[in-house]
Amino acid sequence: MDSNLEEHLQLKAFEGKFDVKDFIGSVSERLITQSKAEAGPFDPKPFIRTFEEAVDRLIKVRKDVQARTEQLERTVRTAEREYSKKMVDLNKGFEAVGNSFSGMETRMNEVGRTAIRIGEQLESVHLERQRAQAAYDLIDYYNQFSRDDTSKLDTLKKEGREGRRQVAVILRRLSTVAKEVDLPTAEKTRESIDKYCEKFEKDMLYLFDRCYRKGEPKMMHHCAQTLLDFNGGASCVQVYVNQHDFFINRIRETTTSNDTILWQALPDPERIPPKTESGLMELFAEIRKTVGQEAQIVQAVFPNPPYVMQVFLQRIFAQSIQQYVEQLLNKASTISDLAYLRMLQLVHLRTSHLVEDLKSYELPSVTPRSPVDAADFRRSMLNAPSAGTSASTASLSSMLESIMEELFVPYTEGQRYLEKESRSLGELYSSHLANFTRYHAKSQKGPSSMFDRMMNQLSAAASDTNTGGGLTSSSAQAAASAFMRFRGITTEKKPEPPTEEPLREEDGQLSIEVAEKMLKWHAEAIGRCVELTPNNDVPKHTFALLRVLAEAIGNAYIETALETTLAKLEASDPKAEPPLQLLSVLRLVDLICHLWQQYINIALFPLASSSVTVRREMVVFNNQTISRIEGTANMFMQRMTDAVVSWLSTQLTKQKKNDFKPRNDDLRTSNTEPCTACCEMLEKVCEAAKQNLSGKNLEVFLTEIGNAFHCLLLEHLRKFPVNATGGIVLVKDLKAYQDTIDTFAIPALHERFEFIRQLGNIFLLGPDILKSFITDSYLGRIDSALLRPYLAQRSDWGQFERGFNDEGEDTVPGLPESKGLKQRLGVGRLSMMMKDLEGLRIGEGMNMNIPSLPSGFTNSFSLSARAFGAGL
C-alpha cells in the first residue's frame, strides 16, 4: 500500500473535521494523475484495487475503534459505581453530623430559655429591691426634712454632676410624696421641701447662666439635664431664651427703615408692588443666621432640643417679627389702603419664605444616655409643664405654620381683609375716573339719571345687612359700602370744590388704556386675595371682587358712557344730520367688554372652580351685567336708526311735485336733490357703521336701515306723477339708491332694491308692452291690484286704464279674488305689500329672501366676548 494512502487511513485523519469528498479526492489524487499521463482508454482497475484496499483498511480501523470504545465504557461504568458508593457514604456522614447539631441546638435552646427566665426573675427582684431601696431612702429623706436636717442631701449635691442629678430626682419624688402625706407635721415638712426645691432650682439656674456666659456647653448640658429630671426643664429653657443676645439687641432696634423709594412706590398703583423691605430683610437674614447657630447649640446642650427650638422660634415670632410687622403695617395704613395691602402681601410673602427655610431645622429627639435613667427620663418629660409637653409632641413644621397663621389672623380674619381690598379698589377707580365722572355728571342733569339710580342702589346695599343671604351677602355689602364714595357719589350732599380742573372732551371718552389699568389693578388685588386668604374663602372673595370690578368698569364706566351718548343723540337737532360719530362708542364698548370678559374667563372663573355654587353665581351675575350693557347699546342703536330713517324721510319729503313730470325739453342729467342727499347719508352711515361695528351687529344695523329706507321708497313712489321723461329721472334715482345700498354688502337688501328698480321700469315702458312685461317678469307674480297705486302715477294711465282693468279683474291662481284683495288692501297698504313680497324670486337665479323687520334691537346687539358657565 502506498505510504500516502496509508497516511490518509490512519485514525488521526478522522479525529478533526472530516469531509467525504476531500477524503475520496486525496485517496484518488495520485491515480488520477497517472491515468491522465497514460495514453489510451481509461483503465479503472487501479482505482478499484486502491479503493478495495482502502475499504479493507477502514474496516480494520473501525473494529479497532469499536474495541477501544467498549473498553472505555467498561472503565467508566466501574468508576461511576465507585463514585456513587462514595457519595452514599458521604451523605450518611452529613446526616449524622446534622442530627448531632440539631440535638445540640435543642439543648442550647432549653438552656437559653432557662437563663431568660432566671434573668427575668433576677431583673424583677432587682427592680423590686431598687424600688424598696428608693422608698426607704425617700422615707429617710422625708424624715430628715421633718427634722430640718438636709445635710445628707447637701453632701450628695456636692459630689459633682451625678450627685446633683440624684438630688434632682430625689427632690422631685419628695415633692410628690409630700403632697400625699397626711400627718400633723406634714404641712411644715412640705414647706421645707418646697423651699429646698426652690433653692436648688435657683442654684442650678445660676450655674446654667454662669456657664452660658462662660461658653461651657458641657456644663450647660449637665444643668439642663438636671433641671429636666427635676421639673421638666422649662425654667432652664426660659432663662436660655430670655438671656439670648438676639432678643436683647432687638429691643433697642425697634424702628422701621426709612426706605424712601419703597414708601413712595407702595401707594402708587402705576408702579410695580415692592417685593422687599430692607429692614424686614435684615431682620429675617439675622433670624436665619441666629437659628442656624442656635440649632447646633441647642442640640448639644439640651436633652430635648425640639422643644427648646420651638420655644426659641415662638419667642422670635412673638417678639421680633410681630412687633416689626405691626410697625410696618401701622405706617402703611396711615398712607393709604393700597399701601397697607401691598405691605401686608410683602410681609406675608417674605414670612412664608422664612418659615419654609426654618422648617429645615427640625431637630431629632435625644434619648437618655443611661438605660437606668430611661424611666426617670420618660416620667420627667410627662411631668413637664403643659406648654413644653404640647410643643414637644408637635412637629416644628406644624408649629411654624400655626405661628404664621396666628401672626396674620388679626389682619385677615372675617371680612376685615375683603373690606380693605374692596375699599382700596373703590378709591383707586374713583380717583382714576374722577374727571370721567365729572364730565358725564354734567352731561346728565335729569332727575332720574343713571347716577341717581346707582346711588340709590348702593345706599340700599350698604344699609341692608341681611339682603342677599348665602355666601356672598357680606361680601356684596362690603363692595357696596366701598362704592358709596365711588365716583364722588355719597348719600350726603357735599359742596362742590371751589376750584376744579377744566374738563376736556377726551375726559368723557372711553379708553382701552383706562380699562387695562382697571383690570391690572384688579388682577393685583386678586393675587393678594389668593395669597392672603384661606383656600376655602378664595371663591367667595373672588366673587366679591368681581362685583367691585363689574360696578366700576361695567356700570360706572361703560354704561355711563353709553347713557351720555344716548342723551347726546336724543338732544341732537332732528333737522340736522344724525351725529354718526357717536357710533364710535360702540366700538370701544365692544373692545373693552372683550378684554374684560377674557380676563374673567382666564383669571377669575378658575379660582372659583372648587365651589360649584359660587362659580354658578359668578356666571349668572356676569351674564346679567353684560346683558344690561347690551340692552343699553341696543337702545342707542335703535335711536340712531330712528334718527337716520327720520332724516331720510325728511329728505324724501323735499321731492318736488314735478321732479318726475318735467317738460319734454327739460331732461336733467343728474339725480334729484333728495336722491343725492339720501345717497350721501347712506354712504356716511355705511362708512361709520363699518368703522365702529362688526359681525352680526353691523349686519343687523345696516339691514334695519336698509329695510326702513325700502319702505320709505315704496311709499314715496306712490306720491308723485311720472311721465315718459320723468321715468328716466326716476330710474336714475332708483339706480343710485340700489348702488348705494349694494355697498352695504347684504344680500337681502340687494334683493329688495332690485325689486324697487324693476318696479321703476313700469314708468319707462309703453302701454302696449306694459302688460306683457308685468306678466312675463317677476312683477307678474304680484297681484295687479298691488301695482295699481304705482301705475296710477303714470301720466298716460287714463288712456289704457280701462283695458288694464278688464284683465286685472280675472282671478289670479293661488291668490284671493281680486275684488276681495282690493277691499282687504284698500289702496295697497305697505305692510301687506311687504308681507306678500317675502320669499319671491327676482329674475333668474336670484332668491328674494327678505327677513322680517325687527321691531327693535333688544336682542340684536351682542358683545364679542361673553362668559359662559361651562362645566357647571
Tell me: the pLDDT tens digits for 78-108?
999 999 999 999 999 999 999 999 999 999 9
The pLDDT of 557-578, averaged and rounded, is 92
In the predicted structure, residue 644 carries a pLDDT above the cut 80: yes
3-state DSSP call for residue 499? coil
Pick the range with the lowest mean pLDDT from 275-279, 627-631, 779-783, 849-853: 849-853
The pLDDT of 842-871, averaged and rounded, is 41
Share of the chain above pLDDT 70, in %: 79
pLDDT (0 to 100) of residue 863:
66
Pick the range with the lowest mean pLDDT from 112-126, 127-141, 420-434, 655-669: 655-669
Query: Exposed/middle/buried for 235, CB within 10 Å: 0-12, 13-18, 19+?
Result: middle
**Bigger pLDDT: 375 vs 510:** 510
CB atoms within 10 A of CB 90: 10
In the predicted structure, residue 393 carries a pLDDT above the cut 50: no
pLDDT (0 to 100) of residue 813:
40
The pLDDT of 421-446, averaged and rounded, is 86
In the predicted structure, residue 392 carries a pLDDT above the cut 80: no
Nearest to 481 by CA among 464, 462, 466: 462
Write the CA distances from 828 to 270, 776, 805, integer angstroms.
Answer: 67, 22, 16
The pLDDT of 465-472, averaged and rounded, is 39
In the predicted structure, residue 369 carries a pLDDT above the cut 70: no
C-alpha cell at 747: 344680500
CB 833 within 8 A of CB 821: no
Write the CA distances from 838 to 743, 758, 773, 848, 853, integer angstroms.
Answer: 22, 16, 21, 7, 11
pLDDT (0 to 100) of residue 467:
38
Of the pLDDT bands very low, low, confident and very high (cuts 50, 70, 90), residue 159 is confident
Compute the C-alpha angle 178/181/184, nearest 5°. Answer: 110
DSSP annotation of 860 reads: T
DSSP annotation of 233 reads: S
The pLDDT of 34-60, averaged and rounded, is 80
Of the pLDDT bands very low, low, confident and very high (cuts 50, 70, 90), residue 172 is confident
Instruction: Enter the pTM of the model.
Output: 0.70
Of the pLDDT bands very low, low, confident and very high (cuts 50, 70, 90), residue 447 is very low
**Bigger pLDDT: 808 vs 218:** 218
In the beta sheet, which residues pair with residue 847? 841
In the predicted structure, residue 850 carries a pLDDT above the cut 50: no
Checking 498-502 for CB contacts under 8 A at 24+ apart, the result is 500/438, 501/435
In the predicted structure, residue 504 carries a pLDDT above the cut 90: no
The pLDDT of 557-581, averaged and rounded, is 92
Alpha-carbon gap, residue 762 to 799, rounded angstroms: 15
Of the pLDDT bands very low, low, confident and very high (cuts 50, 70, 90), residue 806 is low
**Bigger pLDDT: 101 vs 463:** 101
Query: Exposed/middle/buried for 555, CB within 10 Å: 0-12, 13-18, 19+?
Result: buried
Which amino acid belongs to residue 694? S
pLDDT (0 to 100) of residue 31:
77
Of the pLDDT bands very low, low, confident and very high (cuts 50, 70, 90), residue 285 is very high
Cell 426634712 maps to which residue?
145
Alpha-carbon gap, residue 819 to 29, rounded angstroms: 134
C-alpha cell at 783: 297681484
Tell me: the pLDDT tens digits for 201-233?
888 888 888 888 888 888 888 888 888 888 888
In the predicted structure, residue 382 carries a pLDDT above the cut 50: no
pLDDT (0 to 100) of residue 787:
84
Of the pLDDT bands very low, low, confident and very high (cuts 50, 70, 90), residue 637 is very high
3-state DSSP call for residue 739? helix
**Bigger pLDDT: 33 vs 621:** 621
Pick the range with the lowest mean pLDDT from 15-24, 164-173, 337-346, 686-695: 15-24
Nearest to 725 by CA among 675, 672, 661, 669: 661
Compute the C-alpha angle 478/481/487, nearest 5°. Answer: 130
Q: What residues have CB less than 8 Å from 835, skipping those under 6 apart?
A: none
Share of the chain above pLDDT 90, in %: 39
Of the pLDDT bands very low, low, confident and very high (cuts 50, 70, 90), residue 565 is very high
The pLDDT of 310-329, averaged and rounded, is 90
What are the boundaries of each domain within the chain?
3-139, 151-229, 240-410, 416-494+505-640, 644-837
Of the pLDDT bands very low, low, confident and very high (cuts 50, 70, 90), residue 307 is confident
Q: What residues have CB less than 8 Å from 258, skipping those under 6 apart?
A: none
Of the pLDDT bands very low, low, confident and very high (cuts 50, 70, 90), residue 666 is low
Q: What is the chain's mean pLDDT, rounded?
A: 79
In the predicted structure, residue 345 carries a pLDDT above the cut 90: yes
